[in-house]
Structure 1
């Protein structure tokens, strides 16, 4: 059985300690430092672009997880379920808007989306702006104040109609998957530019995706299929 390769060991010490090392060590370390600084200076613009890009990665991960939670929810005719679904929808649309809007140049322009996904984007932004970020009269929620008068008293009643997507809209899934792939493509494009600029390989840490990142059908899609089968 092959022996498992041990990970390389690194020794870290302050720059001030270099002067106490043997002279040949000092020369070697300082030469490496000078070479590294030269490479970093030459790639400064690309590194700044990479830094702006990675600012969006935590938001992308949050969006994928929120969508997973939202699409996994199962309908229940209760107030608690409606509020839970609304809470997850709020988290989804605000996180989506933060990812698209970016900051530090890390956003995604509407024009970068495929034509078939742009109407989906528009609806999410409208939902965020008119229903969740502001009470601005989104057509999915209405409130009616009713006033009755009897025996010299006014009786006030309130009725609310609140539209919901059970587990989120089905068209949100391809949009989220596209954005995830776009972030991956942008990352590797920047790594390739760094390689071309410096003549060195640039390795970004990676690993297997979490269990909840799956291409399996969403819960609401499965429910629709089950309902169709029962009706047939």
Structure 2
């Protein structure tokens, strides 16, 4: 089928017609669409709070997917005592820490996940990640895992300045990070299920969310 207007589009299931084109429909179709529109608006008013929760959750889903992939890369990265291997561990650790911390920011960009929802035995690990983000990766602040300075040597001809850097990290990430990743994946799924069930109870309609196969790196 070829769209009659650039404002009309379709996918495998539906043809989408913007509301501004309704006036051009035959009266019998217009009446049917107007009725359906009002039904949808009534349902959306009833479900407003849960839909806002769903929007916040939607922000977290891509982030948790990225987090699990970064951790997979960190876990499987080959490590030896070379500058390249050190920089790769630093790069992946930075990505993990920053991505994880995004899930716990406040404000309109937040995902609605709080520290209090994390299992007690993982809260100190969570706090350590947030501290890493604040004091090492988001700013050039001070953190016990990194330090730098210079050494100045002098002889009769010149001053020689040497950079000294101490960098600490967990090769492959901390073991507890895997527990946090698995917790967050399960937590997001549970929240999604609860929201969809509440929406069904409030509106009387089924609410579905597309779920595909788990990526190859999950669980590895």
Q: TM-score over 0.5 for the alignment?
A: yes
1:97 aligns with 2:101: yes
Task: Give the C-alpha shift of residue 182 in structure 1.
Answer: 0.7
Q: Structure 1, residues 87-140: CA drift from partner, whole Å, max 9, x if none? A: 111111111111121542424211110011101111111111111112222111
- Where does the alignment leave 5 or more consecutive residues of structure 1 unmatched? 1-6, 217-232
Cα–Cα, structure 1 residues 107 and 46, in superposed 2: closer, same or farther, change >3 Å? closer
2:197 corresponds, among 187, 192, 205, to 192
In structure 2, distance between residues paired with 1:152 and 1:160: 26
1:148 aligns with 2:156: no
Moved more, 14-23 or 128-137: 14-23
Secondary structure class of the residue paired with 2:57? helix
Alignment of 1:165-180 (within 5 A): 165-180=170-185
1:135 corresponds, among 140, 144, 155, to 140
1:86 aligns with 2:90: yes
Cα–Cα, structure 1 residues 67 and 31, in superposed 2: closer, same or farther, change >3 Å? same
1:76 aligns with 2:72: no
Secondary structure class of the residue paired with 1:55? helix
Secondary structure class of the residue paired with 1:148? strand
1:33 corresponds, among 33, 37, 43, to 37
Task: Give the C-alpha shift of residue 75 in structure 1.
Answer: 0.9
Task: Give the C-alpha shift of residue 84 in structure 1.
Answer: 1.1
Moved more, 13-22 or 56-65: 13-22
Task: Give the C-alpha shift of residue 149 in structure 1.
Answer: 2.8
Cα contact 1:102–1:108 (8 A) shared by 2: no
| Corresponding residue number in structure 2 for 1:227 | none
| Corresponding residue number in structure 2 for 1:11 | 15
Count, aligned residues: 209
* Higher relative contact order (CA closer than 8 Å, sequence separation 6+): 1
RMSD of aligned Cα (Å): 2.0
What is the TM-score normalised by the length of structure 2?
A: 0.86
Cα contact 2:97–2:132 (8 A) shared by 1: yes
Cα–Cα, structure 1 residues 42 and 139, in superposed 2: closer, same or farther, change >3 Å? same
Cα contact 1:86–1:164 (8 A) shared by 2: yes
Cα contact 1:147–1:157 (8 A) shared by 2: yes
Cα–Cα, structure 1 residues 11 and 119, in superposed 2: closer, same or farther, change >3 Å? same
| Corresponding residue number in structure 1 for 2:70 | 66
1:211 corresponds, among 203, 211, 216, to 216
